[in-house]
């Protein structure tokens, strides 16, 4: 995208971690708890993350690369699969109400 301005871009990662579901080949409850305790202690810059659900995060890449890297390392250490979707801009469906910026 040569020539395009990046001043209004807000690249974001949506990260989903597999949670324990009780089957032998999935994440154990102990590894899940270990993972959660480690990520809760990560120091962040303001706006560094947004919890969507107990196993999902929206991470602004302008300020949250440290969190994304640590999530990956901690998940790998605990055998927890992560799924990452990189978005060029913050999607409108993450705002409530969806048309919040359009109202004056």
Between 31 and 48, the more confident residue is: 31
Give yes or no for residue 84 having a pLDDT over 90: yes
Percent of the chain with pLDDT over 70: 69
pLDDT given at position 93 = 66
Sort 93 into a burial class: Cβ within 10 Å, 0-12 / 13-18 / 19+: exposed
Query: Among residues 69, 79, 85, 88, which one has the least CA distance to residue 15?
Result: 85
pLDDT given at position 95 = 62
pLDDT given at position 40 = 79
Domains annotated on the chain, with CATH: 12-91 (3.30.70)
């Amino acid at each position: 995208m040569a020539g395009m301005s990046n001043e209004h871009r807000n690249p974001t990662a949506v990260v989903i971690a597999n949670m324990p579901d009780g089957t032998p080949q999935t994440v154990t409850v102990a590894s899940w708890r270990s993972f959660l305790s480690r990520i809760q202690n990560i120091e962040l810059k303001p706006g560094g993350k947004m919890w969507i659900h107990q196993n999902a995060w929206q991470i602004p890449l302008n300020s949250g690369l440290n969190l994304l890297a640590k999530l990956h390392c901690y998940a790998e250490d605990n055998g927890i699969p992560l799924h990452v979707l990189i978005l060029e801009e913050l999607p409108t469906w993450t705002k409530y109400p969806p048309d919040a910026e359009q109202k004056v």
